[in-house]
Structure 1
């Protein structure tokens, strides 16, 4: 259809500037002003935008609120019927004298200038993403060199933002029209183009930067299906293979932006921009491993231990009123090295009402539980967060409010709702806390959901505004080789992609050491009875009382149990392993050590610090070699315990864990 020379809606269509797969662009004038007009045929418009004729108008109207010097401005939109009776939509835009980035890249331009141009592109996309309409920012969805304009003064303008939400690409395909290259579409966009977020734009920007600096594309493919498979599955060709002048920092920026999984990319344009000043994103977080003692009621033990050791502690705040001396001890020491756990996850279970301390928390509900429905109410959620902060604000390190994601009191399809609610609590409580206090996000979830939804969980939590993460996984006794590998991978990826320390809460000791060996910051255990976390624990009607004592034996990398106060049973196993020479056991008889819990807990705490300190002396593969040898010795020692000495010590779950760990680390 030729409309050059015609006047439509007061606009004179002066000349055709170009055409694409789903429309044509014209130079138009009105009242002595020049504009650009994009004409879209109804044939290519998604059905949902056709049902109400003015729906497309409203969709584009919201884009008029977008402001930014690097964004082309929308002026007006209307529709008309052409001579064949087909509805044509017209979008009138600012007229920008320049050329597409695609054409500009044919010139010989220095790397520094290209990076400067790209940073201006990022600023334009940032303005787009930060324009909030109906609680959502605008995603471009179709970023590519053809949709970026540049003039001879290096001014940049981004065009066509939002249009791909309106275009029906299936109609284009069915008519045989060539779609623009899918090269810039992220893997998740290829799978489901309707349900994407800002990170799809970040992927496209990474591909654009690659093309700008290499004058090549990151995949070699002879056909479109081959290209699609490579986008979904293959790593990009390293940029320096095409241009050795690209710095390591810039190459790593491209690698991060074009990661297959959204959670592995920059999470915001601001992060993307920051990378150009830092140039160090290839450096992963490197920390010395740490052991965190989960302190529940061990006031005397803590006071005595801290006189001789630096201790890192996780403290559940609900014990503050019935362990007042423990709380006062932490307060007297200004809560130094103490991470306060708000115990909020237990408030989602009816049984919390029978647990001493929980009902006295200011943020505990007066009746019922802290349910999803309760938290979805903005006023109740705000009051909940405010009361929580008033309770924990004396701390220097706090865990933000959290709830168990796999709550079995809810149907399985509510798991995603719990994930989203935890993220919302993190976001809103983080803003209340500010930056004066060190903030941790707790991920508390069932093993099955973690294994099968690891990518989804990472994609939600990876951008949390916190200083670190604590991960608590239920059903750990069910670990097999596959789920163990998935759990370790999740922990490694969480720390790698956030660059923030991760602590594993309540895991078996060899698993905690294995995580440190993989670079994870630390692990935590209770000093008394809790060495695994299980959802059943937070569903119980009262805090559990253990009829058994536990003593840590480094020879088996674990506790061995015996009936409380049965010093003869303890003496047998203690003597078999040759006793202990730690500062809390040396010079004492088995009966002195085994009578009461204090000495056993001091020994355990000391052993954990020494195990981690010893582990930290090794680096890289040496750590894993050392741990494998320890695991082999532990398996041998468990097999060697005489049957008449507490034959039940060969715990089947723990034995399997050791064997699986040995295979996969």
Structure 2
């Protein structure tokens, strides 16, 4: 489904511009025709609209709306188009994600990285307190915007592959279903079989998405810290299979091998996040 400026979605949101488009969905900046408020509308592409992906899309809205942290992008509404494709209405954010920032500037100063990641951790800590595991933490899902006084504010995005752990809370249907139907104990070998982003996944998550827990998010935080300060991933590989084997069995180079000026205490935190033995 293509959208363009001037198109009215759901009878009340007029599209101003497309913000991004991926394999599963489209995000647009749209203004409420009566209120005049600008929002980000995220809706699913009709050509990939399966029951599983619809469930995942709505799970993102349900899980996100439970979180009250200022470091989580707010969800204001959900609905369905005439085609049946679901959409959600999110707060409109101006700024950039940390992946784009890394591409623009290269490795970032440690104090800056710490400021951003600590804010992201506040959001993830609240999610974990509700039994919600994000499962797709990466620089592209950490968005940097500005507050009313110009101060940097980080927002964690995209709870679309999150799951609810059994903490006395009921898990939403389809949380642990992996596309491709591979067995729980098998090591996946195709990107389409993975829920999340392989380079940022913990060992247990590359084996099975259902095994991801709060510690898996901490691992991803460690990879983010490593990547933002060194400009490199902890594991280098030429294929998905090689990457998975490296994550499961490889040795992680010290961040200071890439950047000797990193403080020892910072490196210690990164390597603690990336410990394979719990």
TM range (shorter): 0.7 to 0.9
The whole-number CA distance in structure 1 between the counterparts of 2:222 and 2:245 is 18
In the alignment, which residue of structure 2 is the partner of 1:121? 120
Give 1:219 shift: 1.2
Question: Match for residue 233 of structure 2?
Answer: 217
Where in structure 2 are the equivalents of 1:367-378 lying within 5 Å?
A: none
Report 1 or 2 for greater relative contact order, CA contacts < 8 Å, sequence distance ≥ 6: 2
* 3-state SS in 2 of match to 1:229: helix
- Contact 1:41 1:89 survives alignment (8 Å): no
2:268 is the counterpart of 1:252: yes
Using the size of structure 1 for normalisation, the TM-score is: 0.35
Q: 2:148 aligned with 1:146, yes or no?
A: no
* Counterparts in 2 of 1:186 and 1:42: CA distance versus 1, 3 Å: farther
Residue 96 of structure 1 pairs with residue 93 of structure 2: yes
Residues 58 and 128 of structure 1, relative CA distance in 2, 3 Å threshold: closer
Q: Which of 1 and 2 has greater Rg?
A: 1
Q: Deviations over 1:363-393 (max 9, x none)?
A: xxxxxxxxxxxxxxxxxxxxxxxxxxxxxxx
Tell me, what secondary structure is at the counterpart of 1:75? strand
Q: 1: distance between equivalents of 2:39 and 2:144?
A: 17
Q: Does 1:107 align with 2:105?
A: yes
Closer, same or farther: CA 178–184 of 1 in aligned 2, 3 Å? closer
Map Cα deviations across residues 33-62 of structure 1 (whole Å, 9 max, x no partner).
Answer: 111112223665674576xx8x96476235
- Structure 1 pair 45/138, CA: closer, same or farther in 2 (3 Å)? farther
Q: In 2, distance between residues paired with 1:251 and 1:118?
A: 14
Does 2:9 correspond to 1:17? no
Shift of 1:178: 11
Aligned mates of 1:21, 1:228 — CA distance in 2: 23
Superposition pairs for residues 467-616 of structure 1, below 5 Å?
none
User: C-alpha distance in 2, partners of 1:44/1:175?
Assistant: 16
State the shift of 1:146 in Å: 0.7
In the TM superposition, residue 91 of structure 1 has moved relative to its aligned partner by 1.7
Q: Is 2:60–2:161's contact at 8 Å kept on the other side of the alignment? A: no
CA distance in 2, matches of 1:196, 1:203: 10
Q: Is the 8 A contact 1:71 1:157 kept in 2?
A: yes
Change (3 A) 1:237 1:42: farther
Taking only aligned residues, the RMSD between alpha carbons, in angstroms, comes to 3.0
Aligned counterparts of 1:45 and 1:228: Cα–Cα separation in 2: 29
In 2, the alpha carbon distance for the partners of 1:178 and 1:191 equals 9
Q: Is the 8 A contact 2:39 2:90 kept in 1?
A: yes
Q: Contact 1:139–1:162 at 8 Å: present in 2 too?
A: no
What's 2:166 paired with? none
Residues 6-27 of structure 1: per-residue CA shift (max 9 Å, x gap): 2122111221111233222111
CA offsets 1:179-216 (integer angstroms, 9 cap, x no match): 97411111111111023211111111110010011111
Deviation at 1:97, TM superposition (A): 0.7
- Number of residue pairs the alignment of both structures matches: 249
Consecutive unaligned residues in structure 1, runs of 5 or more? 264-665
**Deviation string for 1:475-531 (max 9, x for gaps)?**
xxxxxxxxxxxxxxxxxxxxxxxxxxxxxxxxxxxxxxxxxxxxxxxxxxxxxxxxx
Distance (Å, rounded) in 2 between the aligned partners of 1:149 and 1:90: 21
Whole-angstrom CA distance in 2 between matches of 1:195 and 1:176: 17
Question: 2:171: which partner in 1?
Answer: none
2:68 maps to which residue? Answer: 67
Q: 1:213 to 1:192 in 2, by over 3 A?
A: same
1:233 to 217, 229, 249: 249
Partners of 1:215 and 1:230 in 2: how far apart? 18
Aligned to 1:182: 198
| Counterpart-to-counterpart distance in 1, 2:133 and 2:75 | 16
Q: Aligned to 1:170, which of 166, 179, 204?
A: 179
- Relative to 1, partners in 2 of residues 1:68 and 1:180: Cα closer, same or farther, differing over 3 Å? closer
**Mapped contact 1:77–1:91 kept (Cα < 8 A):** yes
Query: 1:184, 1:58 → 2: CA distance?
Result: 21
- SS of the residue aligned with 2:259? coil
Matched with 1:34 is: 38
SS at match of 1:228: helix
Counterpart in the other structure of 1:204: 220
Instruction: Give the match for residue 156 of structure 1.
Output: 154
